[in-house]
């Protein structure tokens, strides 16, 4: 049995990324052998939401194509600095990125709900104070 390792890498931007990888115990297999990666001998998880330009965490895909079984080619874009990157990723990396994007979408929807409620409360308050300050009464009609 091998074991999982976590390696921290500091990007040129100063951002730190964590890479989780699986080290086979026999130590014979070359790290660059893709067949071994697919066989689960190595697990390399890249955090796709991290920008290679500014180190932000809001990178999103602009294109998403399955190039072969369990391998996706993603075109990525950072909305903060317009950094762009195209690369091919394994299923577990893409699935993890999908989770990150879904979480971010959930947070956005929650924020939108909150802002919408606030705006409605404000509108109701404005309407109420307009009624009060204008002194509109039923017997005025
Ligand atoms: Zn960026």
Ligand 1 midpoint to CA 92 (Å): 23
Q: How far is the CA of 13 from the centre of ligand 1 (A)?
A: 10
Q: What are phi and psi of 60, to 5 degrees?
A: -135, 160
pTM of the predicted protein model: 0.54
What is the Å distance from ligand 1's center to 78 Cα? Answer: 5
58 C-alpha vs ligand 1 centroid, how far in Å? 8
Judged against a pLDDT cut of 70, whether residue 22 lies above it is answered with no
- Please state which of the ranges 37-41, 69-73, 112-116 shows the lowest mean pLDDT: 37-41
Rounded to the nearest angstrom, the distance between the alpha carbon of 60 and the centre of ligand 1 is 10
DSSP-assigned beta bridge partners for residue 6: 20
pLDDT digits (tens, 9 = 90+) for 101-124: 989 888 888 888 888 888 888 888
Domain boundaries, the chain: 3-134
């Amino acid at each position: 049995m091998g074991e999982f390792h976590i390696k921290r890498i500091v990007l040129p931007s100063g951002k730190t990324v964590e890479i989780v990888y699986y080290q086979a115990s026999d130590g014979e297999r070359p790290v660059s052998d893709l067949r071994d990666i697919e066989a689960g001998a190595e697990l390399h998880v890249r955090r796709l939401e991290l920008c290679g330009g500014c180190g932000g965490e809001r990178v999103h895909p602009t294109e998403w194509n399955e190039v072969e079984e369990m391998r996706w080619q993603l075109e990525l874009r950072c909305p903060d600095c317009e950094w762009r990157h195209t690369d091919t990723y394994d299923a577990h990396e893409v699935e993890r990125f999908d989770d990150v994007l879904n979480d971010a979408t959930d947070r956005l929807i929650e924020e939108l709900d909150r802002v919408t409620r606030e705006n409605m409360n404000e509108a109701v308050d404005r309407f109420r104070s307009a009624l009060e300050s204008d002194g509109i009464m039923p017997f005025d009609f």
